[in-house]
Amino acid sequence: MKTSTLAYRGLQILGWLRDRADDISSAFTLGWSHTALWLKAAAVVGGLATAALLLGWAGGLGLQAAHALPWPTQKVADPTGLLATVDQPVRHYLNTHTAQLPVTATTAYALWQAIGALALVLGFCRSSGGRILWLLWGAFTVAAAFTGTPAPGREVAAGIAALGWAALSLLALRGISLSPTALIHVHVQAPPAPPAPQVHTAIHVPHPAPASPVLKPFDPQQPPSLN
């Protein structure tokens, strides 16, 4: 009895494995739309796990590179001083506000530069996420330039940062139009509704048939006209 039960369960397992193998082969021949649900779920979960591992690996490499490079700005030619007017307050702001954080000011400064460059490239490629990132990066830059500059020149530094950000936004936000979209409303009159059906009810009452004459017995005492 136990041998037959084990054999039956073994056949069930083999049948289940054969069905899963058929699902895999059908996915290659019929395409994604006809793929079994469990295969789609496995592919999505595997893709997300792989993406998370790749992002973690790339983030680790980026942080190592940020720690290795000092990102100096003194070597950059800046005869007008406009770049230093924005860059130095941002560095001062990051140095002040990262003193109690695990991240160093050098890493935060490198991250600020990397995010700005990445958002500019993605925005130029018309990526919605890149443009949102560019707007947030610009708002932070203007706020950091205002906060990190001494009181007498805060408004000028924030204005220069805003103008530079607006100039670069011509590339990052290219193709976006602020003009309202013209909407043309075409009113199409609905066809008239058909008349409601009219139901006439006629009741026919049958006429009663005339009663047959009643024959009386012959009375010899009465005249023939009455018999």
Which pLDDT tens digit goes with each residue over 38-83?
A: 888 888 888 888 877 777 776 666 666 555 555 554 445 667 788 8
CB under 8 A, 24+ apart: contacts of 9-16 = none
Whether the CB-CB separation of 157 and 75 falls below 8 Å is answered with no
How far apart CA 69 and CA 104 sit, in angstroms, is 13
92: confidence class by pLDDT, cuts 50, 70, 90: very high
* pLDDT attached to residue 220: 67
How far apart CA 80 and CA 163 sit, in angstroms, is 15
pLDDT digits (tens, 9 = 90+) for 127-137: 899 899 999 99
Dihedral (CA of 148, 108, 97, 76) sign:
negative
- The token pair that represents 197 in the structure block: 């059906």
Whether the CB-CB separation of 126 and 175 falls below 8 Å is answered with yes
217: confidence class by pLDDT, cuts 50, 70, 90: low
Q: State yes or no: pLDDT of 179 exceeds 90.
A: no
Whole-prediction pTM value?
A: 0.50
Q: State yes or no: pLDDT of 114 exceeds 80.
A: yes
Neighbours of 123 (CB within 10 A): 26
More confident residue, 169 or 56: 169
Domains of the chain, residue spans: 1-35, 37-68, 71-174
How far apart CA 35 and CA 23 sit, in angstroms, is 7
* Single-letter amino acid, residue 167: A
Q: Residue 180 has what DSSP assignment?
A: P
Neighbours of 103 (CB within 10 A): 12
Per the listing, tokens 């670069």 go with 168
Whether the CB-CB separation of 142 and 162 falls below 8 Å is answered with yes
Q: Coil, strand or helix: which one is 83? A: helix
CA geometry: angle 72, 75, 79, nearest 5 deg: 125
Beta strands in 92-134 (DSSP E): none
Q: Quick one: which of 86, 80, 102 has its CA closest to 147?
A: 86
CA 191 to chain centre: 39
* pLDDT attached to residue 74: 46
